Structure 1
């Protein structure tokens, strides 16, 4: 239901959009992510107990976000996701993509409206 409510975007993809927006507003120059091999459940102490319960592939998700694998344990993610041009999208899917893009624009506006400019600039002021 969450995917349907997000017009076909997986919730983890929507969450990544929030992270991209926060990174952009905070002048972060790189986003790094752990690979499947680097996940804590791959550690020797977890292999027997929790190693079998690894349900999702981080590597596939990071690759789908156009991430770049830096090592067997680490990915570097883009700072923003490129959107397809509406002309490249099949006409029967364009309405859904317009709704997706509107949702992503709303998320960006919401993040921007909620971040205190003083915190982002590093000039935190205390109110007395």
Structure 2
């Protein structure tokens, strides 16, 4: 890297310190000293991320609304045990995923607004839900991209966070976290949401949406997920302050994932559906409506990336 370009990157970081607003803003002397020190410690990786941002037509301006991005190589990120070089590579690959597979109009909207509406759907009680794809993520340590399920009041019912990582030269969609509902929503409300979606659990729906997205984009990437022993909150930095509240291992196992020696979970295929013959007769109607709901969400996502209007928006099943 030429000295002149290195200076441009450092100037970018100085401008982010000075003008960055929002999540991860470096707005106190203590934060600024820490950021400068850590940037020096992890200089090669910091320069790599900075170079990518400077050359990126969208991020070079939008970075000032998401200064957190330049600090991610300084902390545990995506899964436990990544070194700073691997973190930088994952961050870059995650935005390359958007640039390479999304239509230009959608990628521009995503970078500008931070979210895309993938689907809106009405359920049993005539309430409706929305599924968003987001960047500039809430759960910033767990990846670069969120898939969110929200109700009609924009309350978040669940969030799946993922990034892209290379494993043995194979690109992998790696789920770094799967979060439940906002604290404001009680357990009874979530039970009602599940009931109104014909017994479809919100977290399972989010994974289905990820599979639909990967299928629509035809990425041919592997899919993997963090587990109880690889989540970033098992890193030494967080063990005394943060705890994993979910049993990731049991959930992924319920989706027929298998665990490798590295303690990550891998998915060989999308979720298999039961045939109607396998389902007790009294539950068949519910399953048919559930499958119809999933089919329409998948169609919404396909239409979104084809540039067509979503015909199924607000349909009741």
Could you tell me how far 1:4 is from its partner in structure 2?
Answer: 1.3
| Mapping 1:64-79, distance limit 5 Å | 64-79=254-269
Distance 2:246 2:196 in 1: 21
SS of the residue corresponding to residue 62 of structure 1 reads helix
Q: Which runs of 5+ in 1 are unaligned?
A: 118-128
1:47 equivalenced with 2:239 (yes/no): yes
Q: Which structure has more strand as a fraction of its residues?
A: 2
Larger Rg: 2
| Mapping 1:1-128, distance limit 5 Å | 1-29=192-220, 30-51=222-243, 54-116=244-306
Could you tell me how far 1:80 is from its partner in structure 2?
Answer: 1.3
Could you tell me how far 1:12 is from its partner in structure 2?
Answer: 0.8
Contact 1:34 1:58 in 2 (8 A): yes
- Count of residues paired in the alignment: 115
Distance 2:255 2:193 in 1: 19
Q: Which structure has more helix as a fraction of its residues?
A: 1
Q: Which has the higher contact order (CA 8 A, sep 6+)?
A: 1
Consecutive aligned runs of 4 or more in structure 1 exceeding 4 Å deviation = none
Contact 1:37 1:72 in 2 (8 A): no
Per-residue CA deviation, residues 27-68 of structure 1 (Å, 9 max, x unaligned), is 2331111111000111112111113xx211111111111111
Distance 2:197 2:268 in 1: 22
Could you tell me how far 1:73 is from its partner in structure 2?
Answer: 2.8
CA RMSD of aligned residues (A): 1.4
The answer for the alignment partner of 2:139 in structure 1 is none
Could you tell me how far 1:84 is from its partner in structure 2?
Answer: 0.5
Could you tell me how far 1:5 is from its partner in structure 2?
Answer: 2.0
Could you tell me how far 1:72 is from its partner in structure 2?
Answer: 4.3
